[in-house]
């Protein structure tokens, strides 16, 4: 549930703020609330003394009418009741009422009879926070002070409700703070992921807090070392390929001088195969880091030209759909990738079909064949370098095992991806997904 960093930070800050609010509330109730309670109690003593003297000065029939005007306090109220019916029930309910008794009696005349009792007409949830002070006016009637303690600890339900309101109020601000803190991390992760697919991706912006700046600097330094290593590897492979071409050329010339025609053809075939391996190995190394500049490609003419070439060679190949706009990319590299895919489709099937789907966000190119397809275990395995789904090692069907690897590297260098899917019937679908950037939409 809290796997992401933003979710964990949000949970920690929210719970922490909620806990601080509850602790602060309880501390206020225990310390500051007690002082305010004592001040209120002193004013209450004066009110009770005034109400007692005033009720005694009124005739019995007027007391109830004037009593409502005395109920101005929010945490207490007065009522009248027969003195005889309640006198036997008067009792002191708690020894801790000594302080309250002293404060209330301070302003009362000495003859006033004050006692306390617990209420029976209030809900049980607030009964332990309420008390009634009974003061006999005369032999027939008593003045009852209904007192509710506003600074006692609230119930569990009230605390939970208070905590819920606090969390609901602070959650948007906490989420906003977490989003600001993790936004640059998300951008950094996106840039790193893009670099994993495309070595030509831009470096990380070295902005933000010091920790993120240092992390971006470390990642950019690592990026430079990786790019430099790949460039050095490509240069080494290019040098090896160049050095191998000369002896391979001499071998072919010598092989053509062999008088035995069968042996001559075999040697020439071996030499040509070795030369193709050297050339494709170099192409694979170069495909991971494109040095070719980008240009606008007229997608429809580009793909139609490759279909025409396949048809001229006697293959059954067709195209469906149209691109909405030119695509900006490395023309020679993308041509090599699409040629590899079309050649594979015609090699393992009797025909190939290219489908184009275009939008302002991405360009989709599907290459369909009617061959045997691939098992689920080989769908991703065929992208491994030098892996051949045709295990007989036959050069006519197996190839070098680098065609799909080169195609994927080229597509990923453009920020895209290649996916393989078995078709509903027989055959394989190769989906090339190329993102359209803002400058491609002009």
pLDDT (tens digit per residue) in 196-230 = 766 667 788 887 778 778 888 888 888 888 878 87
Is 184 within a domain?
no
- In terms of pLDDT, which residue wins out, 363 or 3? 363
The CATH number for 94's domain is 3.30.450
Contact (CB, 8 A) for 416 and 329: no
Which pLDDT tens digit goes with each residue over 427-442? 899 999 999 874 443 3
Same domain, 41 and 118: yes
Q: Is 381's pLDDT higher than 70? A: yes
What pLDDT, on a 0 to 100 scale, did the predictor assign at position 390? Answer: 58
Which pLDDT tens digit goes with each residue over 146-184? 877 655 555 667 667 877 887 788 888 888 877 777 777
CA distance linking residue 100 with residue 116, whole number of Å: 10
Q: Taking the CA of residue 324 as centre, how many other CA atoms within 13 Å lie in the half-sphere pointing to its CB?
A: 12
Same domain, 357 and 249: no
Same domain, 313 and 211: no
CA distance linking residue 308 with residue 134, whole number of Å: 108
Residues 256-260 have a mean pLDDT of 79
What pLDDT, on a 0 to 100 scale, did the predictor assign at position 218? Answer: 87
Same domain, 436 and 296: yes
Same domain, 249 and 138: no
- In terms of pLDDT, which residue wins out, 430 or 287? 430
Q: Taking the CA of residue 167 as centre, how many other CA atoms within 13 Å lie in the half-sphere pointing to its CB?
A: 16
Same domain, 283 and 301: no
**pLDDT band of 52, cuts 50, 70, 90:** confident
Other beta carbons within 10 angstroms of residue 266's beta carbon come to: 13
Is 9 within a domain?
no
Same domain, 267 and 306: no
Counting the structural domains of the chain, the total is 3
Same domain, 302 and 255: no
Is 277 within a domain?
yes
- Domain final residue, candidates 122, 148, 174: 148
Same domain, 77 and 50: yes
Domain that holds residue 207: 198-289
DSSP letter string, 132-151: EEEEE-SSSEEEEEEEE-TT
Same domain, 132 and 232: no
pTM: 0.53
CA distance linking residue 290 with residue 225, whole number of Å: 17
CA distance linking residue 203 with residue 194, whole number of Å: 10
Residues 379-384 have a mean pLDDT of 82
Q: What share of the chain is helix, strand, coil (3-state, %, to 5)?
A: 55, 15, 30
What are the backbone dihedrals phi and psi of residue 357, each rounded to the nearest 5 degrees, phi first? -130, 130
- The pairing of strands 362-369 and 351-358 is antiparallel
Average model confidence (pLDDT) for the chain? Answer: 78
């Amino acid at each position: 549930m809290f796997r992401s960093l933003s979710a964990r930070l949000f949970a920690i800050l929210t719970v922490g703020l909620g806990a601080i609010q509850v602790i602060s509330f309880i501390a206020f109730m225990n310390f500051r609330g007690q002082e305010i309670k004592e001040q209120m109690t002193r004013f209450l003593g004066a009110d009770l003394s005034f109400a007692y003297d005033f009720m005694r000065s009124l005739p019995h029939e007027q007391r109830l009418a004037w009593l409502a005007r005395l109920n101005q306090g929010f945490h207490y109220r007065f009522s009248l009741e027969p003195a005889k019916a309640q006198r036997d029930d008067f009792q002191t309910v708690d020894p801790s009422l000594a302080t309250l008794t002293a404060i209330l009696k301070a302003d009362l005349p000495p003859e006033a009879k004050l006692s306390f009792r617990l209420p029976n007409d209030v809900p049980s949830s607030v009964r332990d926070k309420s008390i009634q002070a009974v003061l006999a006016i005369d032999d027939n009637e008593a003045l009852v002070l209904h007192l509710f303690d506003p600074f006692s600890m609230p119930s569990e339900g009230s605390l939970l409700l208070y905590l819920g309101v606090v969390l609901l109020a602070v959650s948007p601000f906490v989420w906003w703070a977490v989003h600001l803190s993790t936004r640059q991390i998300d951008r950094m992760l996106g840039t790193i992921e893009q670099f994993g697919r495309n070595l030509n991706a831009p470096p990380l912006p070295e902005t933000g807090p010091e920790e993120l700046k240092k992390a971006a600097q470390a990642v950019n330094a690592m990026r430079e070392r990786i790019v430099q290593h790949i460039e050095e590897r490509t240069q080494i492979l290019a040098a090896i390929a160049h050095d191998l071409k000369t002896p391979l050329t001499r071998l072919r010339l010598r092989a053509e001088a062999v008088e035995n025609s069968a042996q001559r053809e075999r040697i020439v075939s071996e030499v040509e195969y070795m030369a193709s391996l050297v050339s494709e190995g170099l192409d694979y190394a170069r495909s991971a880091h494109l040095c070719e500049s980008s240009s606008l490609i007229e997608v429809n003419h580009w793909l139609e030209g490759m279909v025409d070439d396949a048809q001229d060679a006697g293959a059954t190949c067709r195209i469906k759909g149209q691109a909405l706009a030119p695509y900006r990319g490395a023309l020679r590299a993308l041509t090599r990738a699409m040629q590899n895919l079309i050649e594979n489709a015609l090699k393992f099937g009797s025909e190939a079909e290219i489908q184009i789907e275009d939008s302002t966000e991405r360009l989709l190119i599907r290459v369909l064949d009617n061959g045997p397809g691939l098992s689920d275990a080989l769908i991703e395995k065929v992208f491994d370098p030098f892996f051949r789904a045709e295990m007989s090692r036959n050069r006519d069907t197996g190839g070098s095992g680098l065609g799909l690897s080169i195609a994927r590297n080229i597509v990923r260098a453009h920020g895209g991806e290649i996916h393989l899917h078995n078709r509903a019937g027989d055959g394989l679908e190769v989906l090339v997904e190329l993102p359209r950037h803002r400058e491609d939409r002009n």
